[in-house]
Structure 1
Amino acid sequence: MEGLVEEGQEQIEEIEKGPILDAALIAAAQKVEHYEIATYGTLAALAKKLGYTAAMQLLLETLKEEKATDEKLTLLAEQEVSKEQAGKKVTS
């Protein structure tokens, strides 16, 4: 996780402000979300296997929240791409 945070910080320092940096930061945030999704999914499966039903339910709730955040980031990325494409269209 520290590596993902460091990677995001490097992008902030190395990429000029604008749509490319925005896309890089969205990608960095999604990497963190995917890490969290994998972690909560694994922990929920383990809790289920061990019979920790209450813990499993909490982990599944958190997993659902992380997936929702990932979906929001995907929508944001798509909006950024659309904005970038709209800015490059040439009118005749």
Structure 2
Amino acid sequence: MRKIIDELDEGPVLDAALIGAAQKVEHYEIAAYGTLTSMLKAMGEIQAADLMAQTLKEEKDTDELLTQLAESEVNPAALGKRPANDQTKGSRGAA
């Protein structure tokens, strides 16, 4: 992420790039936690599998929030379009 920050000016394009980078991490974590959950279940470690499944759900929820933020505000601003939830103001980045 440091490279993205160094290469882009502050604003909605940087915000969009950072969300994309964060989602890469989330997807990696989702894959890892999903695999671990399955392995724990196969080992009969149900309590540990349940805890890992909770972590997996948190990662999926975070990914979904990032997607919503990107689609509703950041991506339109990065493309120079008005965010979907901003009917009165011009383009703006994420807060």
Q: In which range does the TM-score fall when normalised by the shorter chain?
A: 0.7 to 0.9
The alignment covers a number of residue pairs equal to 81
Does 1:74 pair with 2:67?
A: yes
* Residue number in structure 1 paired with 2:31: 38
Partner in structure 2 of residue 20 of structure 1: 13
Match of 1:4 in 2: none
Identity %: 54
Secondary structure in 2 matching 1:82: helix
- Structure 2: 5+ residue stretches without partners: 83-89
Give 1:5's aligned residue. none
The runs of at least 4 aligned residues of structure 1 exceeding 6 Å deviation read none
**TM-score after normalising by structure 2:** 0.80
Structure 1 segments unaligned to the other structure (5+ residues): 1-7
Write the distance in 2 (CA, Å) between the matches of 1:21 and 1:47: 39
Query: Where in structure 2 are the equivalents of 1:56-67 lying within 5 Å?
Result: 56-67=49-60
- The residue identity in structure 1 corresponding to 2:3 is E
Query: In the alignment, residue 39 of structure 1 is paired with which amino acid?
Result: A
Between structures 1 and 2, the one with greater helix share: 1
RMSD (Å) for aligned C-alpha atoms? 1.2
Residue identity opposite 1:82 in structure 2: P
CA distance in 2, matches of 1:41, 1:58: 12
Listed one character per residue, the Cα deviations across residues 33-75 of structure 1 (whole Å, up to 9, x for unaligned) are 0011000000000000010000000000000000000000001
After TM superposition, the score normalised by the length of structure 1 is 0.83
